[in-house]
A = this chain, B = another copy of it.
Amino acid sequence: MSSVPPPPQHFASDNYAGMCPEAMHWFLEANASGHEPAYGDDRWTQRVSDRLRELFETDCDVYFVFNGTAANSLALAAMCQSYHSVICTPQAHIETDECGGPEFFSNGSKLLTTDASTPAAQLAKLTPDAVEALVTRRDDIHYPKPKVVSLTQATELGTVYSVEEVRAIAAIAKRRKLRVHMDGARFANAVAHLGCTPSEITWRAGVDVLCFGGTKNGIPVGEAVVFFDRELAQDFAYRVKQAGQLASKMRFISAPWVGMLENDVWLRNARHANAMAQRLHEAIHALPGVRVMHPPQANAVFAFLPKPVIERMQSVRGWRFYDFIAGGGCRLMCAWDTRAEVVDAFAADLAAACGAASR
């Protein structure tokens, strides 16, 4: 056991971070008002929904649910019947980390994952060709009919789809009569990287529904489901209620978003997290034994580290991060509150560990 104090922050997940001051401010503000109507008939829910419509420059339908699994699963269920299927990458969160939530909420819709061996797949990205291949593979009633394309922005490997890439995927989707779902658990980080407007990378590019992540961006609990195609939102309020996703004291879910949307705090938080990932990348990419998988675009660095180095960093130095990728691949995730000095300390520890390992 090590005698060094445990690090104050970690690189395991951006959901290790707490809530940001602006979110907290409005959370407390919402409590200060005393009695307030329940189930979303409060002043903050209305205000935030309007603000989101301004942000996206369109009259979209907005719903708040408790977490990302629920947001994705309910959005997909709104677009799929049980005998339909959803096209996604093998790394998609809906495929790998929601414990079958999408299948459960849709009562059986199958997820069809794209070929894992293409260059795009290595970056956790869909391509028009990959979508086309899955849509045209079968054409009979013995296999679930593709109905939705789901892309994650930023992806599970920290890469970001360009506006052109989203457009191209959406174009093939429309041609094949598929709906386009965007899992935006780290949507803010993608927008921060792209420097585009939220509308450009969503509905203007062909996205029908966005699950806009708040939790990883500094919210305590809650995600927004944004329907750009409002027909898809028909009776969605009933779906949310039935699924146990309607907060009775809704103000505590919605009010923190006021803080995120005022003065573009959501974007500032995302930019900071992205910058910390860049800082980390620069500090470690040339270390002996370290092999970065691809330059970071959002808020994570993905790198192969020697096994003894991983061991030393985790067990001796107490750093928490995931090493779940086959062959020693590690995910180093930065959050809205990751401090530069913690990045530097991690890099220094890693340099030492790599040096020791390479001797």
- Complex formed: what's the CA distance from A91 to B237 in Å? 23
Decide if A81 touches B235 in the complex (CB within 8 Å): yes
The answer to whether A247 has its CB under 8 Å from any CB of chain B is yes
The answer to whether A320 has its CB under 8 Å from any CB of chain B is yes
Q: Which residues of the partner chain B approach A99 to less than 8 Å between Cβ atoms? A: 83, 141-144, 238, 241-242
The answer to whether A271 has its CB under 8 Å from any CB of chain B is no
Decide if B9 touches A243 in the complex (CB within 8 Å): no
The answer to whether A119 has its CB under 8 Å from any CB of chain B is no
Of B24, B66, B100, which one neighbours A85 at CB under 8 angstroms? B100
A249 to chain B, nearest CB (A): 6
Decide if A31 touches B12 in the complex (CB within 8 Å): no
Q: Which residues of the partner chain B approach A110 to less than 8 Å between Cβ atoms? A: 100, 103
The answer to whether A18 has its CB under 8 Å from any CB of chain B is yes
The answer to whether A148 has its CB under 8 Å from any CB of chain B is no
- Complex formed: what's the CA distance from A215 to B227 in Å? 29
A72 to chain B, nearest CB (A): 9
Of B17, B34, B38, B246, which one neighbours A13 at CB under 8 angstroms? B38
The answer to whether A337 has its CB under 8 Å from any CB of chain B is yes
From A33, A243, A252, A335, name the one whose CB has the most chain B CB atoms within 10 angstroms: A243
Decide if B65 touches A36 in the complex (CB within 8 Å): no
Q: Kindly report how many copies of this chain are found in the complex they form together.
A: 4
| A31-B18, A83-B100, A244-B243 as given contacts; A221 in contact with B107, CB under 8 Å | no
The answer to whether A181 has its CB under 8 Å from any CB of chain B is no
Decide if B105 touches A246 in the complex (CB within 8 Å): no
Decide if B97 touches A103 in the complex (CB within 8 Å): no
Chain A 322-339, CB-CB to B under 8 Å as 1, else 0, gives: 000000000000010100
| A82-B107, A104-B83, A248-B67 as given contacts; A144 in contact with B242, CB under 8 Å | yes
Decide if A244 touches B31 in the complex (CB within 8 Å): no
Decide if B15 touches A31 in the complex (CB within 8 Å): no
Which A1-50 residues have C-beta < 8 A from chain B? 8-10, 12-13, 15-19, 24, 27-28, 30-39
- Complex formed: what's the CA distance from A104 to B83 in Å? 8
A39 to chain B, nearest CB (A): 8
Decide if B221 touches A253 in the complex (CB within 8 Å): yes
Q: Which residues of the partner chain B approach A28 to less than 8 Å between Cβ atoms? A: 24
The answer to whether A145 has its CB under 8 Å from any CB of chain B is yes
The answer to whether A155 has its CB under 8 Å from any CB of chain B is no
| A15-B38, A18-B249, A100-B83 as given contacts; A244 in contact with B66, CB under 8 Å | yes
Which A71-130 residues have C-beta < 8 A from chain B? 71, 73-74, 81-85, 96-101, 103-105, 107-110
Which A199-246 residues have C-beta < 8 A from chain B? 215-216, 220-221, 235, 237-246
From A98, A141, A337, name the one whose CB has the most chain B CB atoms within 10 angstroms: A141
The answer to whether A70 has its CB under 8 Å from any CB of chain B is yes
The answer to whether A68 has its CB under 8 Å from any CB of chain B is yes
Chain B residue nearest to A93 in the complex (CB): B142
The answer to whether A299 has its CB under 8 Å from any CB of chain B is no
Known: A35-B337, A82-B103, A96-B142. 11 other contacts (CB 8 A): A9-B34, A18-B251, A81-B235, A83-B238, A83-B239, A85-B100, A141-B246, A220-B252, A221-B221, A221-B247, A221-B249
13 contacts between A and B (CB under 8 A): A8-B35, A9-B34, A12-B37, A15-B249, A24-B31, A67-B244, A81-B239, A82-B104, A96-B142, A101-B108, A103-B108, A107-B108, A221-B253
